[in-house]
Amino acid sequence: EAQVTQNPRYLITVTGKKLTVTCSQNMNHEYMSWYRQDPGLGLRQIYYSMNVEVTDKGDVPEGYKVSRKEKRNFPLILESPSPNQTSLYFCASSQIPGRQETQYFGPGTRLLVL
């Protein structure tokens, strides 16, 4: 089944404790992206990647890192999480880099930073 998976689905952590949220897709998509969703703000793009070893900042990249060592994986790294990073995070992928391509979304990761 074609899908985007994220792990973990739920995470509670404390300020400053490094964490990684994994994202994997099995559709051989080149484009992958991370978003955060906050009430009243909709989805905001954090980082995106057009291919292996190619990453770019989205609208709200501060406090986040990403890597794209393999085509299928695009982990989101919070080196020193803070409470303002408490949010719902979505990973997405699409077939080729391009703003016209449909993005497929993962189920989301709900993060609480205490």
Q: Which of 100, 79, 103, 99 is nearest to 90 (CA)?
A: 103
Of positions 11, 13, 20, 50, contacts other proteins by CB under 8 A: 50
Minimum distance from residue 18 beta carbon to other proteins (Å): 25
- Is 82:15 a contact under the CB 8 Å cutoff? yes
Structure tokens at 77: 């790294």
In the complex with other proteins, the residue whose CB is nearer, 55 or 85, is 55
Q: Does 70 bind other proteins (CB under 8 A)?
A: no
- Is 62:109 a contact under the CB 8 Å cutoff? no
Q: Does 100 bind other proteins (CB under 8 A)?
A: yes
Q: Does 87 bind other proteins (CB under 8 A)?
A: no
Sign of the CA dihedral with 33 first, then 37, 40, and 42 last: positive
Q: ∠ at Cα 78 (72, 79), nearest 5°? A: 120
Of positions 19, 65, 105, 112, contacts other proteins by CB under 8 A: 105
Of positions 1, 10, 42, 62, contacts other proteins by CB under 8 A: 42
Residues of this chain that interact with other proteins (CB under 8 A) are 31, 33, 35, 40-45, 48, 50, 56, 58-59, 90, 92, 97-108
